[in-house]
Amino acid sequence: MGQLTTHVLDTSAGRPGGGITWALYRLQGEHRKLCSGVTNDDGRNDGPILSGEEFGPGTYELHFEVGDYFRQNAIELASPAFLDTVVIRFGIDDGSEHYHVPLLVSPYGYSTYRGS
């Protein structure tokens, strides 16, 4: 059975993005919030963020509250911040596979890819 995981790295500090609040939505007509949490000290969750019957083909969004994370780590941001909430929209086409969506982030840029 497939699952979804994520990992956040703070590229400006060269360390995991621990303490970042995230939320996962499924797009089916309107956004439906499936779950939310906070990354651990390693920038990950303690387990998959989605698996089982909820996991399946469709379009999803992960919302990461990176502005709050940088402010909590004493990084001075402009007002409004250039990046406050990073939204990654992605598709799952095979419900039996492992999808890993990492986020590499700094106050002024981010990147993502399908990891393993």
State the Rg of the chain over Cα.
14
Taking the whole predicted model, whether its pTM rises above 0.85 is answered as yes
The burial class, CB within 10 Å (0-12 / 13-18 / 19+), for 98 is middle
80, pLDDT greater than 90: yes
Look at residue 50 in the predicted model and tell me its pLDDT: 96
38 near 19, Cβ under 8 Å? yes
In the structure, what pLDDT confidence band is assigned to residue 29 with cuts at 50, 70 and 90? confident
Fold of 3-112: Immunoglobulin-like (2.60.40)
87, pLDDT greater than 90: yes
Pairing of strands 50-51, 30-38: unpaired
Residue length of the chain: 116
* Residue with the larger pLDDT of the pair 28 and 108: 108
Mark 69-91 as b/e (b = at least 16 C-beta within 10 Å): bbeeeeeeeeeebebeebebeee
Look at residue 63 in the predicted model and tell me its pLDDT: 98
Round to whole Å and give the CA distance between 31 and 49. Answer: 17
